[in-house]
Amino acid sequence: MNSSDIKIVFMGTPDFAVPVLEKLNENFKVICCVTKADSPKGRGNRMAQCAVKEKALNLGIPVLSPEKIKTPEFYEELSQYEADFFVTCAYGKILSKEILDMPKMGTVNVHASLLPKYRGANPIQKAVMDGEKVSGVTTMMSDIGMDTGDMLLKDECEITANMTLRELSDRLSDIGADLIVKTLKGLVDGTVKRIPQDDSLATFAPPLLREQEIIDFKLDAEKVHNLIRSLDDKPGATAFLGGKKFKLFNTAVKEDDSGAAPGTIVSVDKKSFTVKCGRNAIEVFEIQPENSKRMDVRSYLNGHTISGVFG
């Protein structure tokens, strides 16, 4: 079977999945995209398309955006495409066995971790938050478990000390796009084999709770720094100063033995300020005051002073 004859239904939603869709469309025959339904965005709550839907329509690919996917009507509609593969990437909905078993050669998922580590919906953010030095992408055969299916191919990338969530996400998205092409071609010609996961090595990456976005300056500076970069650019790590909420971005770890209480602003210069942590301190270069936009600290200090203790 030629690659151009392989029929694929792609399921994905956010920006992360767009390069995967583009690579699939370049190498195979993407006959349909399934995305989340349009949702209200912005202050005006205007209905907006997700990134995958917008890209698919630009490529001339039919799009399905059902509110519910576990219905006989949707099963019937999807089955009519007679796909060789379903490919999922950050779709955001759990597929039923009826859907997983529908394509002739199976359903393949692009997962942004080195499985079985970081199963779940939040692997990229969790890797940054935990201070991991290496991440990657795993392609896998989907089953009814949470990222428990047989692994197919993996590719790794380094997480540097100051890499943010956005930077890692962009890197893994590109890796996933190349990896899914190799995976599908290998499944067709028999060179890619299924590898069962070792469940005893599994770790999990559930969605972050709102309270986990608040900085605890009693932690070591490295942990605080990791939290801040894992929440860049959204929703931002939150801290409170003088009863006002701030979000902190773009930080660096600094040695500090001042003995100040955690959360104390121990120094301020023209471009940054430094906050004491449980061990050492973090230097902050960008800030977002409540009800304001994100800005560099230099700009903020043009019209404000900053001092006191975050708490």
Give the mean pLDDT of 248-268. 96
130-134, 191-195, 256-260: lowest mean pLDDT where?
A: 256-260
CB atoms within 10 A of CB 274: 22
What integer pLDDT is reported at residue 46 of this predicted model? 76
21, containing H or E segment: helix 18-27
**What's the CA gap between 142 and 93, in Å, rounded?**
13
Which of the two residues, 173 and 3, has the higher pLDDT score?
Answer: 173
Which of the two residues, 209 and 44, has the higher pLDDT score?
Answer: 209
Per-residue DSSP letters for 99-145? HHT-STT-EEEEESSSTTTTBSS-HHHHHHHTT-SEEEEEEEE--SS
What integer pLDDT is reported at residue 37 of this predicted model? 84
pLDDT tens, residue by residue, 40-77: 676 666 778 899 999 999 999 999 999 999 999 999 99
CA dihedral for 232, 234, 240, 245, sign (positive or negative) = positive
pLDDT tens, residue by residue, 121-164: 999 999 999 999 999 999 999 999 999 999 999 999 999 999 99
pLDDT tens, residue by residue, 227-239: 999 999 789 999 9
Give the mean pLDDT of 261-282. 97
Query: What's the pLDDT band for 200 if we cut at 50, 70, 90?
Result: very high
Per-residue DSSP letters for 233-254? TTT-EEEEETTEEEEEEEEEEE
**What's the CA gap between 81 and 108, in Å, rounded?**
17
What rounded mean pLDDT belongs to the chain?
95
Query: What's the pLDDT band for 21 if we cut at 50, 70, 90?
Result: very high
Give the mean pLDDT of 263-269. 97
**What's the CA gap between 14 and 35, in Å, rounded?**
9
**What's the CA gap between 49 and 40, in Å, rounded?**
9
**What's the CA gap between 147 and 75, in Å, rounded?**
22
pLDDT tens, residue by residue, 74-126: 999 999 999 999 999 999 999 999 999 999 999 999 999 999 999 999 999 99
3-state secondary structure of 230: helix
Give the mean pLDDT of 23-38. 95
What domains does the chain contain, in order, with CATH numbers? 3-201 (3.40.50.170), 210-303 (3.10.25.10)
CA dihedral for 254, 257, 261, 262, sign (positive or negative) = positive
What burial letters (b/e) apply to 245-272, b meaning 16+ CB within 10 Å?
ebbbbbbebbebeeeeebbbbeeeeeeb
What angle do helix axes 51-58 and 18-27 make, rounded to 10 degrees? 30
Instruction: Identify which of 137, 161, 162 has the alpha carbon closest to the alpha carbon of residue 151.
Output: 137
Q: Do residues 129 and 226 touch, judged by C-beta distance below 8 A?
A: yes
